[in-house]
Amino acid sequence: DTAVSQTPKYLVTQMGNDKSIKCEQNLGHDTMYWYKQDSKKFLKIMFSYNNKELIINETVPNRFSPKSPDKAHLNLHINSLELGDSAVYFCASSQRGDNGYTFGSGTRLTVV
């Protein structure tokens, strides 16, 4: 049973479209994250939610809107997609903020 699952695994879409990525964790963790990994493998935090409350928003364009309906789910909606949004987006979870993360397998987004 997958601990952190993301859907879809691959997403190819045209510029200007709106898309969503879903994430669910079954570990009982209280904190969830979205990270973006660029083509050079650099992982950068975008958002963090603790018990459904937004606690980190790292200067991400407001075209990106996270939503956490409950502490087991964290979704990412992206409006007006741009070429520069092409990357792999990873969801992760942890119990409190200072413990190790469990990552999902990633969503590879390609904007054409």
Partner 1 sequence: QKEVEQDPGPLSVPEGAIVSLNCTYSNSAFQYFMWYRQYSRKGPELLMYTYSSGNKEDGRFTAQVDKSSKYISLFIRDSQPSDSATYLCAMSAGGTYKYIFGTGTRLKVLA
**99 belongs to the binding site for partner 1 (CB under 8 A):** yes
**12 belongs to the binding site for partner 1 (CB under 8 A):** no
H-run or E-run covering 34:
strand 31-37
CB-based burial of residue 112 (10 Å sphere; 0-12 exposed, 13-18 middle, 19+ buried)?
exposed
Which residue, 15 or 43, is less far from partner 1 as judged by CB? Answer: 43
**45 belongs to the binding site for partner 1 (CB under 8 A):** yes
Which residue, 30 or 67, is less far from partner 1 as judged by CB? Answer: 30
**90 belongs to the binding site for partner 1 (CB under 8 A):** yes
CA distance 33 to 12: 22
The upper half-sphere exposure of residue 112, i.e. CA atoms within 13 Å in the direction of its Cβ, equals 4
CA distance 111 to 57: 23
CA distance 52 to 98: 17
Among 24, 25, 31, 93, binds partner 1 (CB under 8 A): 31
Among 28, 40, 69, 70, binds partner 1 (CB under 8 A): 40
Residues at the site binding partner 1, with contacts judged by CB under 8 A: 4, 31, 40-45, 48, 50, 55-56, 58, 90, 92, 97-106, 108
